[in-house]
Structure 1
Amino acid sequence: MSSPYPEDFTAWVLSRPLSLRARRAVERMLDQGHVTTADLNDMGYDHPPRAIADIKDAGVQVAMKMVVVAGRRMASYKLVPAAGDAALTGRRTLPKAFRESLYTLWRYRCAVCDGQFTSRELQADHRIPYRVSGEAVEQVPEDFMPLCPSCNRAKSWSCETCPNWERRIAAECETCLWGSPEEYSHVATIPERRLQLSWSGDAEIEEFDRLSARARKADVTPAELAKQVISRMPTTE
């Protein structure tokens, strides 16, 4: 493959443990020097940042700039010719025993939504994104939490659009919902609190249906009605 990058760098990049989508994106960059959001879309990736994140997870540095192509403003990515990164030396696979012990510790519940899932559905996720702090020398359960597929996708999107994604200040992640759902002060730097509720079983579903009917009459969402009810509750000191 002819590449605009140095041969030793090209060989090093291709030797990294790349996922299939990361390898396809890397090969495009090695071939033409860069890859745009439109290129990644054409390759079948509806969420281009995930392909780029996969490359960074393998310890390869990527630079991004905004360009205009055919009248459209989009991101363009290129590889940074430096063999490795002091912080990001490549994500390590967690042993199955480690993941299972983490899930058991959390009673097979998602740390964010508290839903119960099987071990095949859960993912052991870094509390502080790997992109921000890299991989610790020693893997300990306290640095991870189980996430369900839905919350994992929500965290990925929220983190990748967070101002701290580029600042890489670990302390900001430590006080975020996505890093410490047990006790947090913000969600992706925005002062916010979230409460996720679900109704299950015939009795609870009937209760939710009544709540929904009341909300429609009041021309509000069930969530807005629930907040109104809570705000009218007497407070106790």
Structure 2
Amino acid sequence: MINYPKEFLDLLNSVTAKRPRTVIQHILESGFITSEELKNKYGYNHPPRAARDVREYGIPLVTYRVAGTDGRSIAAYKFGNPADIKNNLSKAAGRTVLSKALKQALIEKYGSKCFVYLETMDESALQVDHRIPYEIGGEHDEKDIDYYMLLSPSANRAKSWTCEHCENWVKKDTGFCLCCFWAHPENYEHVAGKYERIISLVFTGNEIEDYYKLIKLSGERKAQEVIKKIIHEHLK
């Protein structure tokens, strides 16, 4: 393992979010991580996003090319110059330092629940995310907590994938994002540009038996169709 400066190691160790932490730990152990490893070993199908997660904490990463297992050229990532953190921390470090205070403020205001799925969960499992993706809306003062939201890991992954495949990822219209379900699920006009509405159903306790009956009746892939049909018939 390379002997990195203490300041750099402290920054690496301050990262607790799962995806960037996975990248950091792998690089610390192996010296680099490839896009192939990110996909096949860790299940991250969008390696540049995983690398960007690390960079957003002010940690310099270098992208270069190596040969994959099939001989083709693939991307690999390793740490850049540790001294560069002094240039990056002006934006990213404050976000890292304040993240615990921001998370607690959101929990105190909204409760320990996912904004998208509305399920109550352990505080340690919840993740803080920008309502408007950082790549579109930029940074905000973390004291303005309404610019942020609490998400379960699965909701955060779903939001990341949807945003990155949305037409606005290129256009970068903040107004478009403000009206989207993934930014404001409590009050929205569209879902990534589509005229849709979403209801998240969570089955708990005795309701789980109803869930299994529904799956047995319809098949997992058609459960939504059956639920919508029941609602439609009920509302006639």
Q: TM-score range by the shorter chain?
A: 0.5 to 0.7
Map 1:25-64 onto structure 2 (within 5 A).
37-38=35-36, 46-47=43-44, 48-54=47-53, 56-58=55-57
* Identical amino acids, percent of aligned pairs: 35
Contact 1:22 1:52 in 2 (8 A): no
Q: How far apart are the structure 2 equivalents of 1:72 and 1:52?
A: 20
Structure 1's 141 and 221: CA in aligned 2 closer, same or farther, altered over 3 A? same
Q: How far apart are the structure 2 equivalents of 1:161 and 1:131?
A: 13
Query: Which piece of structure 1 moves more, 115-124 or 101-110?
Result: 101-110
1:207 aligns to 2:210 (yes or no): yes
Shift of 1:192: 2.0
1:223 aligns to 2:224 (yes or no): yes
Structure number with greater Rg is 1
Q: How far apart are the structure 2 equivalents of 1:36 and 1:142?
A: 36
TM-score, normalization: structure 1? Answer: 0.66
Contact 2:102 2:142 in 1 (8 A): no
Structure 1's 150 and 135: CA in aligned 2 closer, same or farther, altered over 3 A? same
Contact 1:60 1:84 in 2 (8 A): no
Equivalent of 1:115 in 116, 119, 123: 119
Q: Structure 2: state its 5+ residue gaps.
A: 1-7, 16-20, 78-85
Equivalent of 2:162 in 155, 158, 162: 158
1:90 aligns to 2:92 (yes or no): yes
Aligned length: 211
Q: What value does the CA root-mean-square deviation take over the aligned residues?
A: 4.2
TM-score, normalization: structure 2? Answer: 0.66
1:147 aligns to 2:160 (yes or no): no
Q: How far apart are the structure 2 equivalents of 1:49 and 1:181?
A: 27
Contact 2:99 2:128 in 1 (8 A): no
